[in-house]
Chain A
């Protein structure tokens, strides 16, 4: 069994393997597949609860991943300030691994593909991803936005 604690290096190796098979389009095709097959939970929460659903989704995943972050839900935006991404941090810390160069882009492709069609604006700043840091901002642009107080 590949332990869930050993998954991230295997994930990075998968991107490298797909890159060897068919270049970047092959990697992106997998990210699209994974977004469609794996993120149903986020899709359902965001569609039903808006940005509050995003908060609920990431409060679960980032807690289990032991991430170092500050997550904020405000009147018009949801934000994750990732101070130390556990996934990228593990890849950078492992001397025996050469991470897939565009590893962090999977977060951009996977989540954007779920949230933009629902009417959210998705902005991920990966400019400091070489230090395992990033900034995600999501805004609710749906015509009929409904927060918890409306329901």
Chain B
């Protein structure tokens, strides 16, 4: 056990911190869930990628710097502490890319990874359907084969930034007579495919950040099949490991938010005096972020030792999503009469945080996974 960072890791941290201090936009960008804000965030992805900070952990041939997982965690700490914009490319980079690395053909890797990492092609996830949310194996969008193509008919929904995205990674039923986990395939669908229409849905904040996807005879070439035909469930489960675990929401994000919350308390206490109940809520948020941070470094050590990240990812997902809600709720309580104001980043953060316990598998599903697959309680 050695919980210090190596000289190389400290140098990496310093390099990231210096670059971010010089390059992070001084003014916050418009919301990435609006058409203009989406393009502003895309332009920021170009800046990051061109400077070598877009995908630090990736191989050099795809634009990364082959950073270790510890270095990636350090980068995330510095990134969020610097106040840099949200990552509009994250669904592709964090969720799809690990699956392409594992299951993609060499041609698929060469075709997709760099444009994804640079933000030239931004990806959205097409999994949920109106009648299949938590019960993902209940999806019903059909895509039977027709020669070299799959022909998609059906509907996807709750597709984040689907109205603006360039590509979609979808789970579809290529064997139309199959049921449940069998007969599914993982298809990469160009946004301009004929027979595909994306319609924006207003999210809780009113921004058009959700979309429904309507497929009406949309033809997708077989070169866009990721993994084997009919093996989509196994491929998709590889993605959920990334989604729930540390890829999508690294601790740095919450450590930075908790530090800002501490700063907010300090600022308000200077003018209004101390409030010990709320101070304790601030401490609780800080503790949650630190607990996640150390648990993640501990998990990284286990992964380096060869252990797989399995159902334990569900621990992380429950922790960070519930922490995020509490942290922002605490900030709104601290703000008092200003808590309800719509022009605060804390309110934006609160509204976004409320989606966390729902997406990527609801926290009720995660607790089922923890109790059944980690603790070994009987399924029925």
A binds B: no
* Residues in chain A within 8 A of chain B (CB atoms): none
